[in-house]
């Protein structure tokens, strides 16, 4: 009887490169669980997608070992396959939002154990004008900075880099006049930030409505932040996002629009810079969002692991 097979796709440039010192220990966990482990080290951007598209069907599990960009590449490769292995994520980058949502511990050896002990479920996949995203697409303040924030700064201080750069940009930021259509409604207003997500955190920060997020309901959470009308709303939003204050639905309505929907169409008065899973996703004035329900077999932790 042949052994099950697992492929580790490693981005050697991601995050603080912590996986380099733990690879043998990680492989040992998979070996003890009955898996034959293989490793592929990516050579260039999009190389993970290419390799998994060509070879992923030969494995039972394919593990993305890197940041959110590596996660996106590996998932994209799996989705190109007719026979899809289970997708798993190890948090090795500067941002690890999706790994956190799946309950994966930051300790990589414990994460390997969580993968072999985990459960497979069918995760939704989002699309922006045909381009896939696994956990989030976004535009506006605190997202456009990803185009400018140096990689060394992201590696060094993670989500703090995004927050620092975003605060620096606030005085000069231009808000967008948007028309947002979604199932059951439409809204028009000036907005500073838009998040279309399927995760419980963005750039290391808590989502306003993480308690209703589901990865397998065929819906995404659409959140739009309005222009703050007073300092109280700004402070309230920051305190909620950073877990310093409980969510107050009525208070949130003053500075945000939130809906769950299987589709959306966002039209701006001028082109928006879009991100998908933390990577640049084009500049356009109109974007259509849709959800492919349960398209990606994914492993999540079956219990809570202490780091």
Handedness of CA 276, 241, 210, 101 (dihedral sign): positive
What pLDDT digit, counting tens, does each position of 122-162 carry?
999 999 998 999 988 888 876 654 434 444 434 433 443 44
Least confident of 2-11, 18-27, 142-151: 142-151
Backbone angles phi and psi of 255, in degrees to 5: -130, 5
CB contact at 8 A, 242 and 205: yes
Architecture in CATH for domain 131-292: Sandwich (2.60)
Residue 72 CA, distance from chain mean position: 8
pLDDT above 90 (res 167) = no
Least confident of 51-65, 122-136, 158-172: 158-172
pLDDT at 194: 86
Same fold, 4-117 and 131-292: no
Helix orientation angle between 47-55 and 68-79, rounded to the nearest 10 degrees: 30
CB contact at 8 A, 18 and 49: no
Task: Say which CATH topology domain 4-117 has.
Answer: Rossmann fold (3.40.50)
Look at 165 and 230; give whichever has higher pLDDT.
Answer: 230
Residues in the chain: 307
Spans of all domains in the chain: 4-117, 131-292
Mean pLDDT, the chain, integer? 81
| Other CB atoms within 10 Å distance of the CB of residue 172 | 6
pLDDT band, very low/low/confident/very high, at 248 (cuts 50, 70, 90): low
| Other CB atoms within 10 Å distance of the CB of residue 138 | 26
Distance between CA 186 and CA 53 in Å, rounded?
38
Distance between CA 216 and CA 12 in Å, rounded?
31
Handedness of CA 187, 190, 195, 201 (dihedral sign): negative
């Amino acid at each position: 009887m042949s052994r099950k097979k697992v492929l580790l796709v490693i981005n050697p440039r991601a995050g603080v490169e912590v996986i380099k010192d733990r690879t043998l220990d990680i492989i040992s966990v998979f070996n003890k669980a009955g898996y034959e482990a293989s490793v592929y080290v990516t050579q260039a951007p999009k190389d993970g997608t290419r390799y998994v598209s060509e070879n992923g069907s030969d494995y039972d599990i394919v593990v993305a070992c890197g940041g959110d960009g590596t996660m996106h590449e590996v998932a994209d490769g799996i989705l190109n396959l007719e026979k899809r292995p289970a997708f798993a994520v190890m948090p090795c980058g500067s941002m690890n939002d999706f790994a956190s949502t799946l309950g994966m511990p930051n300790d990589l050896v414990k994460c390997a154990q969580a993968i072999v002990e985990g459960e497979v479920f069918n995760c939704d996949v989002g699309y922006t004008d045909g381009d896939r995203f696994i956990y989030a697409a976004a535009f506006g303040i605190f997202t456009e900075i990803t185009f400018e924030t140096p990689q060394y700064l992201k590696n060094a201080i993670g989500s703090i880099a995004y927050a620092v750069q975003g605060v620096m940009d606030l005085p000069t930021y231009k808000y967008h006049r948007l028309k947002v259509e979604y199932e059951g409604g439409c809204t028009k207003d000036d907005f500073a930030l838009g998040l279309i997500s399927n995760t419980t955190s963005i750039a290391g920060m808590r989502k306003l409505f993480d308690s209703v997020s589901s990865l397998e309901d065929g819906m995404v959470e659409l959140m739009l932040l309005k222009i703050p009308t007073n300092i109280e709303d700004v402070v309230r939003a920051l305190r909620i996002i950073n877990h310093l204050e409980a969510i107050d639905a009525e208070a949130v309505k003053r500075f945000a629009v939130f809906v769950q929907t299987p589709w959306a169409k966002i039209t701006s008065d001028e082109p928006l810079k879009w991100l998908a899973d933390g990577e640049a996703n084009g500049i356009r004035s109109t974007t259509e969002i849709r959800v492919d329900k349960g398209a990606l077999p994914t492993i999540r932790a079956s219990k809570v692991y202490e780091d």
